[in-house]
Amino acid sequence: MKITIIGAGAMGGSFAEGLLHDDTFQPADLTVANPHAGKLEKFQRLGAAVTTDNKTAVAGADIIAIVVKPWLVEEVINEIKSSLDYDHQIILNMAAAIPSSQLLKWLDKKGKTPVLFQVIPNIAIAVKASMTFIVPVGALPAQTEQVKTLFDHLGESLITDEQHLGAGTTLASCGIAYAMRYFRAASEGGVELGFKADIAKDIVLQTCKGAVALLQSNGNHPEAEIDKVTTPGGLTIKGLNTMEQYGFTNAVIQGLKAGVK
């Protein structure tokens, strides 16, 4: 399976890194295209083909991922459309907030449109730990399974509908930044408590890793695990209640809702 990634920015580069570090994928089967050659050097060193010509990049690819800023998607499609083979190629759009109906209009060639997938990963795809949302548009079940299998190698994926894509984006793609902000806040709190900055960060990361491992292993609701460590009159419940007084839960929920808007 040959894959072309158009765009080597944060998300395109992360997608390429994930593929190049996946043992089931051959680096020679990846082409990365970007107008700035400097961004391509590391992918070339890892064995991928690179080019600054998008039309050259799509030739012979089985899957073509458009991973550019939303305002550049139409320009890229107009550039490559004449070189696309809709009978044999699958198009992945990774630019957020562009409806499939608009993409299909841009991709239309005399009434013929490609198999299209709306795909929203997060940057943890670089380390094969993404939460990726996939919306098939005009795809056969076998094609959907092919695309899902690809992203399951790079973390976890969920087949959903376009109506939920915005919510998925803010919960997981934007959400990774929200998680980073908690890590930063907790690390800064650790410094106030007397730890050096790097040590505080390591403590926070390992604690969060443990929380995730617990929930994934037993399937419990987070509150069930919270109950295990909140003894009457204890430190944990005092800390949780103080966070709530300052609006912790509401701040998270309102931030997520703002992301969808």
Residue 37 is predicted with a pLDDT of 95
- Count of domains for the chain: 2
Q: Is residue 156 part of a domain?
A: yes
In the chain, what percentage of residues exceed pLDDT 90? 99
CATH code of the domain covering residue 196: 1.10.3730.10
Mean pLDDT of 31-57: 97
Mean pLDDT of 168-175: 95
Domain match, 79 and 15 both: yes
User: What 3-state DSSP class applies to 33?
Assistant: strand
- DSSP letters for 130-156: EEEEEEEES--HHHHHHHHHHHHTTEE
Q: Flag whether 196 is in a domain.
A: yes
| Shared-domain flag, residues 132 and 254 | no
245 band by pLDDT with thresholds 50, 70 and 90: very high
Residue 261 confidence (pLDDT): 77
Question: Does residue 129 sit within a domain?
Answer: yes
Q: What confidence score (pLDDT) does residue 154 get? A: 98
Please give the full DSSP string across 152-203, using - where no structure is assigned.
HTTEEEEE--GGGHHHHIIIIITHHHHHHHHHHHHHHHHHHTT--HHHHHHH
C-alpha to C-alpha distance for 73 and 125, rounded to whole angstroms: 21
pLDDT at 73: 98
Task: Give the pLDDT confidence score for residue 220 in this predicted structure.
Answer: 97
pTM of the model: 0.94
Dihedral of alpha carbons 6, 11, 14, 18, sign: negative
Bridge partners (DSSP) of residue 64 are 4, 91
Structural domain ending residue among the three candidates 128, 161, 194: 161
CATH number at residue 132: 3.40.50.720
The fraction of the chain above a pLDDT of 70, given in percent, is 100
The reply to whether 29 falls in a domain is yes
Answer yes or no: is 17 within a domain.
yes
Do 250 and 151 share a structural domain? Answer: no
| Host domain of residue 10 | 3-161
Q: Which residue has the tokens 């443990």?
A: 210
Examine residue 170 and state whether it is found in any structural domain, yes or no: no
Measured CA to CA in angstroms, residue 196 lies from 179, 180, 181, 205 at distances of 21, 19, 18, 14
Strand partners of residue 135: 118
Residues with Cβ within 8 Å of 91's Cβ and at least 6 positions away in sequence, in order, are 63, 64, 66, 84, 107, 114, 115, 116, 117
Count CB atoms within 10 A of the CB of residue 146: 16
Mean pLDDT across the stretch 139-155? 98
Question: Does residue 167 lie within any of the structural domains?
Answer: no
